[in-house]
Amino acid sequence: MSVAAAHHAPMDRLKALEIFAAVAERNSFTRAAASLDLSTPVVTRAVQELEQSLGLRLLQRSTRRVALTREGEAALARARGVIGAYEALMQSSRQHGAEVAGDIRFSAPASFGAARLAPLLADFMAQHPQVRIDLVLGDALESMEDGAVDLALRIAQVLPEHLVARRIGEVPMGMYAAPAYLRARGLPREPGELAGHDCVVHSGPGASRAWQFSHPVTQERTQPVLRQALRANHVEALMAAALLGQGLAMLPRMLADPAVERGELQPVLAAWACPAPGIFLVYRERQHQPLRVRKLIEHVAQAFESGGGWPLRLRAPERVQATALLH
């Protein structure tokens, strides 16, 4: 692309200024071309097109020497300022990208972030004291798409295809109900019987409103018709409804198992497997991530992957924290 068309290409404008400065400093098109590893005709044409674009005569040519015009002297001073600012920006960016320092805006589901991520992030910041993390708790991904968030953790069956994501674990699920509900309504023996039961269904982002089951022995797969007595966008509400006997609920096993041990919930259709939603780290792009973000991705991913889907160094939640596993 010619310098005359440089209004379409900022890098061409900068290159033209670098060529002009090299010619002015060496008083020679030939020596400037050698220093820039370009041919002399390319350098000559670049300066001519820059002059045409600016509407100024920058250099006075003769058979013996090249000299700056008065306009050229003023243009050279400004060109050096632009080139210097660009070089300072590049040096600062390279240094910043090579250091584990700076701000990271990290988004996560509210309860999950509080219960699971806070200790993990504290550990990371202890290792990298120059990093500051802004933990944003919420379920929406809009902030990731508009660039306001550097990294997000999301739990979902599927994610939109345009997102860049790394799966770092999964959340084993099961169906549960309060013993009082099952005494009153009966214990379903197969998924097809769910049509006659009240079901408490998750309606949050990334959730599947259909319940799917597969039998590990018969290999049967089914997606039964549900009677949705209650829909909620938060797993705490599903858990509370199940404990109150409002219906059957699909819950994370890690959340429900302590209640089963206390006799507050009972597994339903335990012989059938339910799809486990994935735990994903979501970010804007795979390349050109600042080092601090790459390090945090690896830190969180290692904790989850080495723990079989949950952070290895964190204990299972106490009873008070048991509802703080998912959004």
Q: Are residues 163 and 177 in the same domain?
A: no
Asked if 164 and 287 sit in the same domain, the reply is yes
Domain with 19, as residue range(s), is 3-97
Name the token pair of 39: 């041919």
- Cα 38 from Cα 47, distance rounded (Å): 13
Conformational region of residue 225, where left means phi above 0, alpha means psi within -120 to 50, and beta covers everything else: beta
CB 77 within 8 A of CB 24: no
For residue 186, tell me if it sits in a domain.
Answer: yes
Within-domain flag for 235: yes
- Are 166 and 294 in the same domain? yes
pLDDT in the model for residue 91: 64
Among candidate residues 213, 256, 232, 235, the one with its CA nearest the CA of residue 155: 235
Task: Tell whether 72 and 123 lie within a shared domain.
Answer: no
In this structure, what token pair is assigned to residue 170? 């999964």
Q: Are residues 203 and 222 in the same domain?
A: yes
* Cα 276 → chain centroid: 21
- 226 domain residue, yes or no: yes
**Can you say whether the dihedral through the CA atoms of 283, 286, 292, 298 is positive or negative?**
positive
Q: Which of 141, 311, 302 is nearest to 151 (CA)?
A: 141
| The pLDDT of residue 324 | 30
Task: Give the up-direction half-sphere exposure of residue 279: CA atoms within 13 A in the CB hemisphere.
Answer: 28
Q: Which positions of the chain have pLDDT values less than 70?
A: 1-11, 90-99, 111, 113-115, 139-147, 204-209, 286-288, 307-327
Cα distance between residue 149 and residue 105, in whole Å: 5
CA distances from 2 to 29, 44, 48, 286 (A): 18, 12, 10, 33
Could you give the CA distance from residue 74 to residue 20 in angstroms, rounded to a whole number?
A: 12
Q: Is 22 exposed, middle or buried (0-12, 13-18, 19+ CB in 10 A)?
A: buried
- Could you tell me the two tokens for 201? 């269904």
Determine, yes or no, domain membership for 326.
Answer: no
With 0-12 CB in 10 A as exposed, 13-18 as middle and 19+ as buried, what is 110? middle
How many domains does the structure of the chain reveal?
A: 3
β-pair type (102-108, 151-156): parallel
pLDDT at 242: 96
The reported pLDDT for the residue numbered 141 is 58
Q: 106 and 91 share a domain?
A: no
Looking at the structure, tell me whether residues 261 and 181 fall in a common domain: yes
Whether 178 and 248 map to the same domain: the answer is yes
pLDDT of residue 288: 67
CATH number, position 199? 3.40.190.10
Tell me which long-range contacts 237-244 makes (C-beta under 8 A, separation of at least 24): 238/200, 238/201, 238/202, 239/322, 239/323, 240/323, 241/200, 242/176, 242/177, 242/178, 242/200, 243/178, 244/178
